[in-house]
Amino acid sequence: MRLIVTILILLNLMDPLMAKSVTVDANATRETKALYANLKKMASKGVMFGHQDDAVYGHTWKYDAGASDVKSVAGDYPAVFGWELGNLELGRVSSLDSVYFDSVRVRIKEVYKRGGINTISWHVNNPLGGNAWRCNTTEAVKSVLPGGTKQALFRQWLDRLATFLGSLKDDTGRAIPILFRPFHEHTGDWFWWGAKQCTPQEYVALWKYTVNYLIQTKKLHQLLFIYSPASSPDAASYFERYPGDDMVDILGIDIYQYGGEQASNRFVAEVQNALKYMTQAAKAKDKVAVLSETGIESLPIKNWWTEVIYKAVSESDIAYFLVWRNAPDKPGHFYAPYPGQLSADDFIRFKAMKDVYFESQLPLMYK
């Protein structure tokens, strides 16, 4: 017994990450465990800024190498880059946002090489037909579970997902760590995996099947899994469909501001309330909390960055918040400023705050 204890102590001294970071995947790569440990550290230091699809398109451009609306305004890339894989499961070459998956792979590699963080969402199509938002059925989730009529199809979809995730490697061939956020906003009613479309037990079974398939069957060991309901008023509703501490690495939540400037105080209060119970839970469970999606469409508030979102997140120990995309084909659909946009100057002031982190300000996140 004494010999076993001594060996364990020596192993922890040799590899501090074993003592600091317990991930869903016990065989997670060293870089993935390091990222998880460093996300916890960053949460206690400040908040990292993230932006969806930042490096593949912007308000008036697409596929320009090195381009970024965020960098054009603030002189730095986001710390966290969001990506989308919807339609990959269908065998298509581009996403539901018409972005080539080959381009996403290249940009993910570039972000990792610079030291940034990559997170992936998956608006997976409805197995009974139609897109992720086709939710007029209560049969979709049960159809993909073992014994279901679409189980074989869903395995094929997971195989295609796994092939892409497995192709994300650095110049040396090592797997790039990814924060993976499947079946998000499930407390809403707009996706086929939503609360009105399946029971809590079915949702948990879907989550567990997917996680176990990617780790155990497909041998992917570079994933950290984010659980991210839509806005929930309290911890009870937030955790109603929680698949378990052994199935989740990161506690996330998606909260957007609607209703214009007059809704700012309500939005701040809503975010602060959610982050309070989330960060308390993250601390108790030794996990990371994040605001996985947020923003206000078209940024109509001049000082939104310093007077709204910063107030909403600055008192909470979350690792990052991520705003949604700047669509080049929809002029009013943007969530980060571009040069000359109303909130651009305020965004620069936001970036200069000592507890806000962009890409170049990050420590070594994979060491």
pLDDT at 131: 96
pLDDT at 136: 78
The pair of structure tokens assigned to 291 is 């605001």
Written as one letter, the residue type at 7 is I
Residue 307 among the catalytic residues: no
Helix (H, G, I), strand (E, B) or coil at 175: strand
CA distances from 252 to 98, 134, 288, 322 (A): 26, 24, 8, 11
pLDDT at 20: 53
Residue 293 among the catalytic residues: yes
pLDDT at 135: 81
**What is the mean pLDDT of each successive set of 10 residues along the chain, which is 367 residues long?**
41 43 94 98 98 98 98 98 98 98 98 98 97 90 98 98 98 98 97 96 98 98 98 96 98 97 98 98 98 98 98 98 98 98 98 98 98
pLDDT at 9: 37
Ordered by start, the domain boundaries in the chain are 2-361
Q: DSSP secondary structure string, 318-364?
A: -SEEEE----TTSTT--SS--TT-TTHHHHHHHHTSTTEE-GGG---
Helix (H, G, I), strand (E, B) or coil at 202: helix
pLDDT at 291: 98
- Check whether domain 2-361 has CATH 2.30.140.10, yes or no: no
pLDDT tens track for 82-120: 999 999 999 999 999 999 999 999 999 999 999 999 999
Could you tell me if residue 232 is left (phi over 0), alpha (psi between -120 and 50 degrees) or otherwise beta?
beta
Do 70 and 54 touch, CB atoms closer than 8 A?
yes
DSSP state of 100: B
pLDDT at 70: 98
pLDDT at 21: 66
pLDDT at 137: 83
Identify the active-site residue in 84, 185, 202, 270. 185
**Residue listed under structure tokens 């008036």:** 60
pTM of the model: 0.94
CA distances from 228 to 100, 219, 251, 329 (A): 25, 24, 6, 27
H-assigned helices in the chain: 2-14, 16-20, 30-45, 69-74, 101-114, 140-144, 151-166, 200-212, 235-238, 264-285, 304, 310-313, 344-351
**Residue listed under structure tokens 């989308």:** 84
Could you tell me if residue 28 is left (phi over 0), alpha (psi between -120 and 50 degrees) or otherwise beta?
beta
CA 135 – CA 346 distance, rounded (Å) = 39
The pair of structure tokens assigned to 54 is 């930042």
CA distances from 5 to 1, 8, 9, 259, 341 (A): 6, 5, 6, 58, 60
